[in-house]
Homo-oligomer: A and B are copies of this chain.
């Protein structure tokens, strides 16, 4: 059944509000992220915003969830584009993909979300920890698949997790300066270490 124009508009308004919520959360912090402030940022009436998000808690919860869902979707799509089979993606391709995903604008926004989580607000903190941990698991799974890695091997899992640690650290550096030249060399070197260290499926 095709969607009605009204359903399309409603969906578009929701999308606008969620994007605006990331902007407000990043720029002004969790305390400033109210339904009114987000409605105003999105150029949507307060009433229309409240139709979508009845309370501030619901708005923040859905914003954080959607934000990490979008990151996951982005990563899945990029991994799906990698070549497969015997001449499939090189370890370097996979490491580059992970490293670059943490050096993106989304990571910059995620940094603000993490920074908010480091604050004292308990509920937001728990929410972000759960969403971030789902995201990290997803990255490990996707890397495992792309590399045909044996995830039952302890050292292999550890090395995949270290790839994410390293990518996060490089991403943090990239927030300040363009470290793409350094990142390129690190990707090269880490791909070698990873390739030697992981166990592949038979």
Q: Which residues of A contact B (CB under 8 A)?
A: 27-29, 108, 111-112, 114-115, 117-119, 125, 128-129, 132-133, 158-159, 161-162, 164-173, 175-177, 182, 185-186, 189-190, 193
Contacts and interface: CB of A to CB of B under 8 A. Distances in A.
Interface of A is mostly: helix
A186 B158 CA distance: 8
Given A28-B29, A162-B190, A172 B172 contact: yes
Q: How many identical chains are in the complex?
A: 2
A128 B176 contact: yes
Contacts of A167: 169
11 contacts: A27-B119, A108-B118, A111-B111, A111-B115, A115-B115, A125-B176, A129-B177, A133-B176, A158-B186, A161-B182, A162-B189
Nearest to A176: B129
